[in-house]
Chains A and B, each alone.
Chain A
Amino acid sequence: MRKFTLSLLAIGLLTSCQRGPREVKIAIAEPLTGDIAALGQGLKRAAVLAIEEANASGRFPEFKLRAVEFDDRSDPKEAVNVANRIVSNPDIVAVVGHFNSGCSIPASAVYARAGLPMMNAGSSSPQLTLQQLSSHWTGPRNIFRVNTTDDAQGLFAAEFAAHSLKIKTVAILHDKTAYGQGIADVFQEKFKELGGTVLSFDGVQTGDKDFKALVTRIKPLGPELLYFGGTYTEGGLILRQAREAGLQAPYLTGEISYDPDFLRIAGGAAEGAFVTYLGRPPELLDTAKLFIEKYRLAYPGSEVKAYDHYAYEVTNILLSAMEKVGPDKAKIIDALRTLTYEGVLGTTSFDEKGDTFNKTITLFVVKDGKFVPHE
């Protein structure tokens, strides 16, 4: 047995010496299976697309880029496992990930200890980048993200409810995750500040399907608005079951529901639902047209999902930093701090926390089974 292991080791060493151009690896850590696997697969496809384009273009003559995929299953524990595996591989110079704020935050601490640049597309909790300013933060400020955050989104939603919809009372639900509860808290605080009344503030269990009892309980309170912080899996079911139970108040939720799956889950009940979105989605960005074309060409039959352009952009930003300073972790982080990038999202540069200066929010309303921008 030992002989066998030794010979395997020898083969491994030999092959690693033999390979031709040097390989530089970029980890892609997203939820590739689990409840929101469809989103994670899209993010992965977009990041891989950026890497393969860079290889084909000859931007990096000295080495070959390789994407290494990791699956965090939307599970914070698994995200930390994945992060430890990533930092233990010396060939990996940066990570693109994670998607869920609940995964990104614990994993980011692991990356920081290893000084690995963390390129984030999709996590929207302000906490992710904010934590780097605390005195407990060990390591460089290594997190960069291209989408804006829930504080912007929650504030926008509360102002929209109070000023445009002229809503006075709301029932708030959230899914008890870093993302869902975070955005619900921001909404609640701002809505109260604007003079509104919060009739109820309740958490639901992710993975639960039956919210009939909950909406039956909320109905007699007579809220003028339902606000939900969480993913479309629960949100779509809550909306559908609320309508079935006769609760007709308008429904407002966050960017993750900007997804065809939300429409499929909620069915006809989705009609009239309001969804805030971080930034602008690819199909509304002139600068993203080329990206969409290339994506469709590379992955026939896959729809471009709502975050895919973020993953593509953040990977390209990483590559452009790498082009300047080479595959060196610390140098990449320094280069990213001062980088200005023109791409799919327009102009991106990062503030001292690594957050983008671009803080646009787009509001959608569901009309005839489609998301329509609401002006």
Chain B
Amino acid sequence: MFVSGNVIFEQVLNGLTLGGIYALIALGYTMVYGVLRMINFAHSELFMLGAVGGWGLLALWPGGATLGGICVIFFVAMVGSGLLALFLNRVAYAPLRGSPRLTPLLSAIGASLFLQNVVFLWRDSQLAFPPLFVSGHFHVGHLDVSFLQTFIILISIFLMVNLTLFIRKTRLGKAMRAVSQDAETAELMGIPVHRVVALTFFIGGALGGAAGVLNGLYYGSVKYNMGFAPGIKAFTSAVLGGIGSVPGAMLGGFLLGLLESLGAGFLPKPEWKDVFAFVVLIIVLLFRPAGLLGKNRAEKV
């Protein structure tokens, strides 16, 4: 099959857009896992609530949001999802600290079902997400580049850069790294572990909320059960990159997005894209069981 450079470029752009959204969600899974060694399966609902909340706010700009409007929506969706993550931590996870590992997992699944059904009772159909303030394409040489895709990629990279700076350069970031290395020792050194855990939930939730708004803008509609599929994909990205590793989640997200879109674009049958992505995942895990950037740590006994 003849493949032009343009098509390859467009597929890479498709992959990066998808990957940016996956990566933002994956960060929530990986950060919580980093500090608590727990998979927050309700995380995909924070993503959904960010999107549905964003939809509710967009009603304030019936003709499509302005730049200022988009900023407000991002801010509210992120803070809202972040606070909800804090609340989840407080009611569903914190009371179970110290219990066997499976208990908070079940609690997470329960919380996820609960949140989905609350939204279902409120709105059970598709909710149309108004478009971004710019639409269409711009041209770079021969290439067609979509404004919306560029916007999504830039926003996700912007958030990831800020997160990295926060973790690397601030005292709180240092505390977070310390807790993720060894919570007990960190506590002995005077680090308020519970507060750091709460902060981690907040940041993870906020990134999930931002991903929800981006997802709404990209696909144009949101729904109460929209979290499931991207949640699974993002969790896969986190595992691919190395669960617990922040740069790993970013790498894993972009990689999975690219694998899917190049798979759908160039494999003999586009249906094989998921098979292709998961075969790559399995191969990576065969050679690097901890994921691409994950560290093998000795199990504490």
Contacts and interface: CB of A to CB of B under 8 A. Distances in A.
A267 B11 CA distance: 23
Given A216-B14, A217-B270, A267-B220, A35 B264 contact: no
Contacts of A208: 229
A209 B120 contact: no
Nearest to A38: B125
Contacts of B127: 264
A213 B229 contact: no
A240 interface: yes
Contacts of A202: 269-271
A220 B262 contact: no
Contacts of B226: 209
Interface size class of B (residues with CB under 8 A): 35 or more
A205 B274 contact: yes
Given A209-B219, A236-B221, A265-B221, A214 B126 contact: no
Contacts, number: 91
B230 interface: yes
Interface in B112-137: 120, 124-128, 131, 137
Given A237-B219, A265-B221, A213 B230 contact: no
B273 A264 contact: no
B10 A210 contact: no
A216 B220 contact: no
Interface residues of A, number: 34
For the residues of B in contact with A, the DSSP-based class is helix
Interface string B186-229: 00000000000000000000000000000100011100011011
A217 B268 CA distance: 11
A214 B270 contact: yes
A33 B264 contact: no
B125 A214 contact: no
A266 B128 CA distance: 9
Nearest to A32: B124
B270 A213 contact: yes
A33 B260 contact: no
B14 A212 contact: yes
13 contacts: A33-B120, A209-B229, A212-B18, A213-B265, A214-B265, A217-B265, A237-B220, A244-B148, A261-B125, A264-B126, A264-B127, A265-B126, A267-B131
Given A213-B260, A214-B265, A217-B11, 6 more contacts: A210-B219, A213-B11, A213-B264, A214-B264, A233-B126, A265-B221
